[in-house]
Amino acid sequence: MSEVLRVALVDDQALMRAGFRALLDAEDGIEVVGEAADGERGVALVRAQVPDIALVDVQMPVMSGIEATRRIASDPALAAVRVVILTNYGLDEYVFEALRAGASGFLLKDTEPADLLQAIVVVARGEALLSPSVTRTLIGEFVARPPDRATAPGLDRLTRREREVTALAARGLSNEEIAAHMVISPLTAKTHVSRAMTKLGARDRAQLVVFAYESGLVEARRR
């Protein structure tokens, strides 16, 4: 990650892009490297600029934010790019599909400016890209369904310890909470999480959580 965070804006609403640009351009250490009004142009922009963060609207003409995310996440040349989905509706089905496609997290379009700036920094650092509280909400809303093991192969690659930390992460525990639960150091917990992500090809913690539920490693508590 460079000292200046480079951000691409992909949204079909010109007023929304202008608002985000004004906010980000006013912040030291953040540079908006370009804008796009649909998913197809957004993918082209990200390929041309390779930003640290791409803020992508979930619903757009020509190509949806979900498909744009999928193309960005599957491009080896864009492995360092983190996609953050923008939505008006909170934790809707589109957001879950975007996480499956490779998004690192999501933001409501009406989020507070300070929260937007903090989220960009957190995502760019590659830390826990979904906070435990958001993870728990995501689980409660969208993964209380039968596992689809066909879409989540690779469980047999994990050691017993790695399966355990993956399951705990999927239940919304932070690395510190995992460490306390397993009576290990936070650094060891982080190492186990990182190794599980590497073995499963998960770009970040968000994909690790999706995998855990889709594979049947853990089951959501039905409400």
pLDDT digits (tens, 9 = 90+) for 143-200: 555 545 544 567 788 899 999 998 888 777 888 889 999 999 989 998 998 899 888 8
Q: Considering the domain 149-215, what is its CATH architecture?
A: Orthogonal Bundle (1.10)
Q: Which two tokens stand for residue 39?
A: 């998913």
Question: Is the CATH number of domain 5-129 3.40.50.2300?
Answer: yes
Query: In the chain, which residues fall in CATH 1.10.10.10?
Result: 149-215
Band of residue 44 on the pLDDT scale cut at 50, 70, 90:
very high
| Separation between Cα atoms, residue 97 and residue 121, nearest integer Å | 24
Q: What is the DSSP letter of 211?
A: H
Compute the chain's Rg from CA coordinates. Answer: 17
Query: In the chain, which residues fall in CATH 3.40.50.2300?
Result: 5-129
Per-residue pLDDT, 222: 47
- Name, in order, each residue with C-beta under 8 angstroms of 29's C-beta and a sequence gap of 6 or more: 3, 4, 5
| Separation between Cα atoms, residue 211 and residue 86, nearest integer Å | 22
